[in-house]
Structure 1
């Protein structure tokens, strides 16, 4: 359609403000109870759900990028994924800051209407569960299985299970890292001096203090000995090797964006943790040791979930195995050329 033939767009119609602004129905008003802060409570949580919807939109774009059989370093794909992750992080920062607004509601203000909400609970936020699932939090790694689906209706249970059946960002990340050639090339990098991983291990070991010697055993399990690689990890040994290489040699042009992507995934985990811990303190402040409206143990449940729902922890572990730039094995000229943009 010609742009000139399109009907005019009106602000309130475009934003569907008639639906949004008329979507607040305080339970206290229905009961004739004076509870002035319930409006704030509703709007805050509606805002959360709108942001969750945007986060899901961004996650699905990133997943589509990494579903490709090959993500070309000459395309805009990695830059796009990095930009989307930055946006997700900014949204998560808003979610953390938004708790401060909710904390202007005192415990007594909350008690004016809290009992009217049972059994509704933030635990029933389907979108947040889907966010966690699509990022890579698996059902068996969730804390409190007995509560996870118990408070949901059948339609929402099916939505969550459908999300859990989709390929997660962690799985896609593993495939992307495995397709990188760096760990494969390492076997002949150093020629007479031995292969890369033997040289790196020796240098890494020499830099460990007596109290850190256990790190070397873990290093061998994760990067040297395939038969000892721990079962149940989300990233394979090959993926871990390439992730370590990216972090070590991130200063080369071709690795700038891959490193930034890995670093942003850690930031996503950090912001989710900050949101959970701010939520914990808010709940403790509002209801103390009471159980949640949905039947959970309240703040105690949130604390346990925050400690166990870390999605990209295997990437975070790599920091234990880094060394100073000045000690890094020198790369051969051909590999250096491959890591720069002026390749012929």
Structure 2
């Protein structure tokens, strides 16, 4: 065996600690003003950006998986995507908890150096904007479009605009869901006493029986989304077929082949939830720290964050499908042909 000529790796050099640990340059020091908490403020936000970089790394791996012409449903593609999205969720939980560290800085502590930061703002984080865009948040759905690119340098503006034109994870998910044929096995679902009924007719019949008086509008929405193509809302990001298959996965998740797809859909909802939690924690922190002042970048501060939290739900169409779930014992029983398709190995 040939001797390994590769030079040894040293911890500090591998992590480039000299660059990282010397990358904090408080503005208060430059001004000769004592502001002991500016170091914390810088390190917290640098840490955010490092985690954003890791999130982007994971999202792009998942996008590459679903950009393939054929995605393996059992292994390793969907499993790999689920693992990556789990990691994203864990990172987002860390980002939410990290706000607790920043909240140890009081409003008076922040005022010691706040004015030195203008017009820099967290709103200028292009990595966060890229995360939202690659997940599937569209420009026209953004709150505060007048601020969205206006505070960025020309280089960063062009970079974000370029990402806006890329295919998002939500778009790729739509294509993947459309490929799953199980929800369209109409003939296989017909029964002797309801021989003209396919799966969706049976599901509607069962769903309608258990609706309360206040839920009757749900049946109209069910008809609009699932019964005919003519009534399907054109503004929805998921196609009718993709929505049908997503609901089918949620209802029959206990079958082997649907367990990973269900976990994937659930993780996307978890990402939305964690992003919302991060925004709401941010809202309360900003309220405690600057009150009704405008942000250093010129936004309305807490007001902007609250409106964004309410409108920036990326996977809302998936979460809304839970309105049409029902207890397992009420679901139409799959015929053997469909059960075989939902198993790892078909019966011989």
TM over 0.5: yes
> With structure 2 as the length reference, what TM-score do the two structures score?
0.97
The CA deviation at 1:74 is 4.1
Residue 258 (structure 2) aligns with: 255
The CA deviation at 1:185 is 1.2
Q: Which runs of 5+ in 1 are unaligned?
A: none
Q: Distance in 1 between matches of 2:109 and 2:314?
A: 35
283, 289, 292: which one pairs with 1:289?
292
Structure 2 counterparts to residues 21-40 of structure 1, below 5 A: 21-40=21-40
Q: Is the CA contact 2:232–2:240 (under 8 Å) kept in the aligned structure 1?
A: yes
1:322 aligns with 2:325: yes
Residue 230 (structure 1) aligns with: 233
Q: Is the CA contact 2:74–2:257 (under 8 Å) kept in the aligned structure 1?
A: no
Task: Tell me: CA distance 1:69–1:293, structure 2 relative to 1, closer, same or farther (3 Å).
Answer: same
Q: Distance in 2 between matches of 1:3 and 1:314?
A: 57
Superimposed CA distance per residue, residues 41-81 of structure 1 (whole angstroms, 9 cap, x where no aligned partner): 00000000000000000000000000011112243000000
Q: Distance in 1 between matches of 2:198 and 2:290?
A: 59
1:306 aligns with 2:306: no
The CA deviation at 1:2 is 6.4
Residue 90 (structure 2) aligns with: 90
Residue 71 (structure 2) aligns with: 71
Partner SS for 1:213 = helix
Q: Distance in 1 between matches of 2:187 and 2:149?
A: 48
1:340 aligns with 2:343: yes
Task: Tell me: CA distance 1:74–1:305, structure 2 relative to 1, closer, same or farther (3 Å).
Answer: closer
> With structure 1 as the length reference, what TM-score do the two structures score?
0.98
More displaced, 129-138 or 217-226? Answer: 217-226
Q: Distance in 2 between matches of 1:119 and 1:2?
A: 57
Q: Distance in 2 between matches of 1:135 and 1:34?
A: 41
Q: Distance in 1 between matches of 2:198 and 2:37?
A: 65
The CA deviation at 1:188 is 3.6
The CA deviation at 1:241 is 0.4
Partner SS for 1:305 = helix
Q: Distance in 1 between matches of 2:204 and 2:47?
A: 49
Q: Distance in 1 between matches of 2:290 and 2:184?
A: 55
Residue 179 (structure 1) aligns with: 179
Q: Distance in 1 between matches of 2:47 and 2:252?
A: 41
The CA deviation at 1:201 is 0.2
Residue 18 (structure 1) aligns with: 18
Could you list the structure 1 runs, at least 4 aligned residues long, displaced by more than 6 angstroms after superposition.
Answer: none
Superimposed CA distance per residue, residues 246-287 of structure 1 (whole angstroms, 9 cap, x where no aligned partner): 001000000000000000000000000000000000000000
The CA deviation at 1:184 is 2.2
Partner SS for 1:4 = coil
Q: Distance in 2 between matches of 1:3 and 1:177?
A: 51
Q: Distance in 2 between matches of 1:4 and 1:221?
A: 66
Q: Is the CA contact 2:247–2:321 (under 8 Å) kept in the aligned structure 1?
A: yes
Residue 220 (structure 1) aligns with: 223
The CA RMSD measured in Å over matched residues stands at: 1.2
Partner SS for 1:293 = coil
Structure 2 counterparts to residues 94-109 of structure 1, below 5 A: 94-109=94-109
Q: Is the CA contact 2:96–2:278 (under 8 Å) kept in the aligned structure 1?
A: yes
The CA deviation at 1:225 is 1.7
Structure 2 counterparts to residues 193-204 of structure 1, below 5 A: 193=194, 194-204=197-207
Task: Tell me: CA distance 1:282–1:2, structure 2 relative to 1, closer, same or farther (3 Å).
Answer: farther
